Amino acid sequence: MADVLAALAGSSGVLLATLLLAWTASASYVVATGRPGGDALLHAPRETARLLRQRRRTTLSADRLLWRGSGWSLLLVAALLVALVPWGGSALLPGSLGVVWANTLDIVVWALVWLLGWGANSVVGLVGGYRFLALALAYELPLMFALVAPALAAGSLDLAVVADAQGTLWYAVWMPVAFAAYLLGVLGFAVLGPLAAPAGPETGSGVLAELSGPDLLVVDAGRYALLGAGAAVAVPLFLGGGAGPWLPGAAWVLLKALLLTAALAWVAGRLPVLRVHRLMEPLWTVWLPLVVVQDLVVAVVVVAGR
Amino acid sequence: MGLRDLAVRAATARPRVLVVEMPGGALVRMAAERELDRRGWPVGTAPGSADVLLLAGPVPESLAEAVGLLWDQLPGPRARACPASPDDVARELDSAQASLRDDPQQRADARERDREPASSWVEDDMDHGDMDHGDHDMDHGDMEMAPGGIPLAEGDDDRDGLEMDVLVHPLGPLLDRWPGGLELRTRLHGDVVAEAEVHRPAAEAADDVPAPVATWDAVATVLALVGDEVWARRARGVRDQHLGLGYAAGDERSVRAHLSRLARAHVLPHSVADVLGRLLDGRLDPAAHRLDDAALSSLLAGHDLGDVRLLVAAHAPLLPLVRSAGVGHG
């Protein structure tokens, strides 16, 4: 009985944290586009009310199961990512392979965004879906190699162990390239900011073009939640987890996650959308080798430290 | 009063407005953008999630049917705003918002639409379509397959010699951030426009937009299309200054510096940055240089959908859209 209650409390905590992160991300994003703070804070509740009141629509011969299913799954993936984060020692989904699971979940987003574009049976949706695949190829490899760095330094794939291994010198400080590659990957799987081309205004919102009402609401919420969840996973990976003075560990994790979410969403909101076919080259010929060199540096430091 | 009222007010506080320019409606559209900026209402990019359809300028007879189709795409609650002149914009937006808040009216609209069998958001019963299919002779079965009434794409070699599905995809005449009434019938190979057939609308009244206003409007539209909302707003401020509306402090030089930064980062295609630069320098005079249909069509062929939108936006000052009966153009 106590186990069930603890699991229920943990799940609702994770859900609440996911929604709080999503709200923070949306508010910060809206501030970045030049709206006043009050408007930004009210943006999420107003959009929720607006889209809940809006009617659902469908397109001719839409693949409705995959279309709607993929849209609603984005939030689920974000919640699962948050569940991997150790909040002051214990995660809802603890495991010795947390880093691998985080990577797996971000790859699930590939399928979800593509299906979102495919399911609507619309030209711009499909164009958006394929743009996402091209974009994902560009950001995913640097992201994977970025995940290698903290795991290598800590000698573990367990997020709690990675967090504890950092001590006073956070990995973000001495692995800046890996940290940056990770954050770029977060923007990629959240389809926001510079990597929002699959849903960009120049293709009439791409994968989002045919969505309306609650179906659009969950996708928009899912994108902001994915940004927040990615930032939350970065806390044990790069920002020392729950380490910090005075406050309990869980509070530090939440505080760091919210601050990183706000900062990342603000930067994303300021930047224009990059063109997909211009990204592959710099990301693979410059960015990827830099991240690999970062891994090499970490490996050398680890070996020298033994 | 109560929770329900509060929810309706929250839902309609910032309605999403799809702004569609009519032929000759550029000045009305600019006034609409100004008013939406002031109110903080978001501009929609897709009819599927918009609350308000704003038709900037008088709707010509030739577009009435297309407007009806677009109106059907709005899921509802929905409202229409039809400002015929820049002075009407604020009033039309107010009445659109009031109409969105009018629950009984919106319910009646929704019931009315449920009765129409071919309403676009009601799943059509497609069984008879499939039944039909059995009667055809199967020789050209592939060509005749039309799931949901949409013919399957044909194949063709694309620019790299790969066989791709060819889709016929119209751009315009009713599109956001798009010259009023311009229609491109494109053949798409994947997302690359293989060819674009240009159709321009005939309109009664020509737009009398001064060259610097048209240029800065193009800059603002391009920036909005690449999702650079902050700088798009600044460019709109500069544009409005050229219109003699000085309340938005715009800084031409900083926007121009930002444009070259974007060009260096390849956010803007080279050709787009080049045209905007020449327009801003005055090396390209919208009054003298005009793009005819053939030039526009060859300009767009071979670019992907996104770049086509940017190219059209950048060349908008050079597009003589209005072919009124009295005045010919070169």
Cβ B40–A35 below 8 Å, yes or no? yes
Cβ B267–A273 below 8 Å, yes or no? yes
pLDDT at position A85 is 92
Identify the residue among A28, A31, A52, A61 best suited for mutation to test binding to B, counting B beta carbons within 10 A and taking the highest.
A61
Q: Could you tell me which residues come within 8 angstroms of residue B308 by beta carbon, excluding any fewer than 6 positions away? A: B171, B184, B186, B193, B196, B300
- pLDDT, tens only, A223-236: 999 999 999 999 99
pLDDT at position A226 is 96
Residue A9 CB-density burial (10 A; 0-12 exposed, 13-18 middle, 19+ buried):
exposed
- pLDDT, tens only, B18-30: 999 998 899 999 9
Residues A152-177, mean pLDDT to the nearest whole number: 90
pLDDT at position B149 is 65
Nearest CA in chain B to A61: B148
What is d(CA A153, CA B175) in angstroms, rounded to the nearest whole number? 52
pLDDT at position A191 is 93
Identify the residue among A123, A124, A195, A281 best suited for mutation to test binding to B, counting B beta carbons within 10 A and taking the highest.
A123
- A192 DSSP 8-state letter: -
What is d(CA A174, CA A86) in angstroms, rounded to the nearest whole number? 22
Identify the residue among A42, A54, A217 best suited for mutation to test binding to B, counting B beta carbons within 10 A and taking the highest.
A54
Count Cα neighbours of B24 within 13 Å in the Cβ-side half-sphere: 16
Task: Dihedral sign for Cα B18, B24, B25, B27, please.
Answer: positive
Give helix then strand counts, H and E, for chain A: 12, 0
Q: What is the residue-averaged pLDDT of chain A?
A: 91
What 3 state SS string does B74-93 have? CCCCCEEECCCCHHHHHHHH
- pLDDT over 70, % of chain B: 81
Q: How confident is the model at residue B148 (pLDDT cuts 50, 70, 90)?
A: low
Nearest CA in chain A to B265: A274
What is d(CA A72, CA A63) in angstroms, rounded to the nearest whole number? 14
- pLDDT over 90, % of chain A: 62
The tokens for A50 are 């607006």
Residues B52-61, mean pLDDT to the nearest whole number: 93
Instruction: Tell me the shortest Cα–Cα distance from B304 to chain A, in angstroms.
Output: 10
Q: What DSSP string describes B206-238?
A: -----HHHHHHHHHHHHHHHTT-HHHHHHHHHH
Residues B64-81, mean pLDDT to the nearest whole number: 91
Residue B222: is its pLDDT beyond 90? yes
What is d(CA B233, CA B224) in angstroms, rounded to the nearest whole number? 8
Task: Dihedral sign for Cα A24, A27, A33, A38, please.
Answer: negative
- A72 DSSP 8-state letter: H
- Chain A environment of B167 (Cβ under 8 Å): 123
pLDDT at position A115 is 93
Q: Cα A125 vs. chain centroid, distance in angstroms?
A: 22
Cis bond upstream, residue B77 (ω within 30)? yes
Chain B stretch 274-303, residues whose beta carbon is closer than 8 A to a beta carbon of chain A: none
Q: Give this prediction's pTM.
A: 0.90
Among A15-29, A46-60, A124-138, B103-117, the least confident range: B103-117
Instruction: Tell me the shortest Cα–Cα distance from A125 to chain B, in angstroms.
Output: 11
Terminal CA-CA length for chain B: 62
What is d(CA B178, CA B200) in angstroms, rounded to the nearest whole number? 12
pLDDT at position B120 is 46
pLDDT at position B122 is 38
Cβ A50–B11 below 8 Å, yes or no? yes
Residues B125-154, mean pLDDT to the nearest whole number: 48
Cβ B49–A212 below 8 Å, yes or no? yes
Give the SS3 label for residue B54: strand
- Phi, psi for B167 (deg, rounded to 5): -115, 140
Residue A243: is its pLDDT beyond 70? yes
What is d(CA A131, CA A141) in angstroms, rounded to the nearest whole number? 16
- Chain B environment of A125 (Cβ under 8 Å): none
Cβ B11–A274 below 8 Å, yes or no? no
Residue B315: is its pLDDT beyond 80? yes
Residue B170: is its pLDDT beyond 60? yes
pLDDT at position B133 is 37
Q: Cα A141 vs. chain centroid, distance in angstroms?
A: 16
Q: How confident is the model at residue B206 (pLDDT cuts 50, 70, 90)?
A: low
Residue B176: is its pLDDT beyond 60? yes
- Please tell me which of the candidates B150, B230, B304 has its beta carbon nearest to residue A61: B150
Q: Cα A144 vs. chain centroid, distance in angstroms?
A: 14
* Contact indicator for B181, B323 with CB cutoff of 8 Å: no
What 3 state SS string does B114-145 have? HHCCCCCCCCCCCHHHHHHHHHCCHHHHHHHC
Between A7 and A17, where is the model more confident?
A: A17
Residue B65: is its pLDDT beyond 60? yes
Residue B201: is its pLDDT beyond 80? no
Q: What is the residue-averaged pLDDT of chain B?
A: 82
C-alpha to C-alpha distances, B221 to A213, B87, B292, B312, B317, nearest whole angstrom:
27, 22, 21, 10, 11
What is d(CA B219, CA B225) in angstroms, rounded to the nearest whole number? 10
Of residues A202, A196, A201, the one with CA closest to residue A184:
A196
Nearest CA in chain B to A195: B227
Nearest CA in chain A to B228: A272
Enclosing H/E stretch for A131:
helix A123-154
Q: How confident is the model at residue B264 (pLDDT cuts 50, 70, 90)?
A: very high
- Please tell me which of the candidates B123, B124, B310 has its beta carbon nearest to residue A202: B310
